Amino acid sequence: MIETTQEELAIDCFLLAGRMLIQSGAETYRAEDTMLRMASSQGLTDAQSFVTPTGIIFSAGHKRPTRIAQISSRTTDLEKIALINSVSRKLTAGVFTLEEAYEELLKIERTNLFFPIWVQVVASAIASGCFLILFNGTWIDVPFAVIIGGIGYLIFLAMHSLTKVKFFAEFTGSLFVGLLSVLVIKVGWGYQLDKIVIGSVMPLVPGLPIANAVRDLMAGHFVSGVAKGMEALLTAFAIGAGIALALSF
């Protein structure tokens, strides 16, 4: 049996892991599973956890306090998910002690694992160009899709860090993609408006919520599954509204 302070450290550690998993965009069932595995490896076998995309309730069992962790923002950070997963694996395998695992998790929380902004923008620009061709576009339009895709994603990132409202950022990003594409066509440089728009708007597509919603629904987490599905739908709606507004000019 662990001591009281040790116990508190353990619960802190599990909550931190669960919170960071959800914040990085992991599936709900993975967060629950990770927390319970870590708990049972530390002797808290009757622990229970209830995870939703906006908060975690974790109870360590008899007489021990039930704790809540609030989650206000979610991004897509696959590397963080993989790192937390490996910490939890090491803890359950006995490679890490509880203190080491907690230290490691704190270190993961502090470090920014994202690629530099310019790499992200370049990646989205290149991806836009690739998708233009994949969707039967012409090679002449590729440079426009590359530039507009990069600018659109940059505007999305800037608006997101400025306003913290994800849907608004997606809306502005796709609005600018639409406006720039219309401009390129009006000036007479580009050929196919629709292909340029589709290619350039691809970096904003909500891939993670779609994939997660399915896996959560399959695991029986209907609350999270519906919430994530709603997130994907709202994002799609924000992108569509931005494009529609740009086209109506």
Partner 1 sequence: MDWLIQGMLSFIGTAGFGIIFNAPKKTLFHCGLVGMIGWLIYYAFLQKGVDAVFATFAGAFLISIVAHILARQFKTPMIVFSVAGIIPLVPGGLAYNAMRTIVENDYAKSIQYSARVFIIAGAIVMGLVFAEVFMQLIFNGIRKRKAKLSKLSS
> ∠ CA(232), CA(211), CA(71), 5° rounding?
65
**Stretch 128-157 residues interacting with partner 1 (CB under 8 A):** 130-131, 133-135, 153
CB closer to partner 1 out of 56 and 121:
121
Residue type, 159: M
Q: Which residues ranging from 71 to 110 are in contact with partner 1 (CB under 8 A)?
A: 76-83, 85-86, 89
Site residues for partner 1, 190-229, by CB under 8 A, read 194, 197-198, 201-203, 205, 207-208, 210-212, 214-215, 218
Look up residue 51 and give its DSSP letter. Answer: E
Only segment of 40-48, 50-58, 62-70, 237-245 that touches partner 1 (CB under 8 A): 237-245
At CA 58, angle to CA 56 and CA 64, rounded to 5? 150
Of the candidate spans 11-19, 47-55, 66-74, 125-133, the one that interacts with partner 1 by CB under 8 A turns out to be 125-133
Q: Which of 238, 232, 236, 233 is nearest to 212 (CA)?
A: 232
Give the separation between CA 78 and CA 113, rounded to whole angstroms: 10
Q: Should residue 240 be labelled a site residue for partner 1 when binding is judged by CB under 8 A? A: yes
* Closest CB 133 distance from partner 1, rounded Å: 5
Give CA–CA dist 179/168, Å, rounded: 16
Are 183 and 177 in contact by the 8 Å Cβ rule? The answer is no
Handedness of CA 182, 183, 185, 190 (dihedral sign): negative
- Mapped onto helix, strand or coil, the DSSP state of residue 209 is helix
**Does residue 126 interact with partner 1 by CB under 8 A?**
yes
Q: Which residues bind partner 1 (CB under 8 A)?
A: 26-27, 30, 76-83, 85-86, 89, 113-115, 119-120, 123-124, 126-127, 130-131, 133-135, 153, 194, 197-198, 201-203, 205, 207-208, 210-212, 214-215, 218, 236, 240, 243-244, 247-248
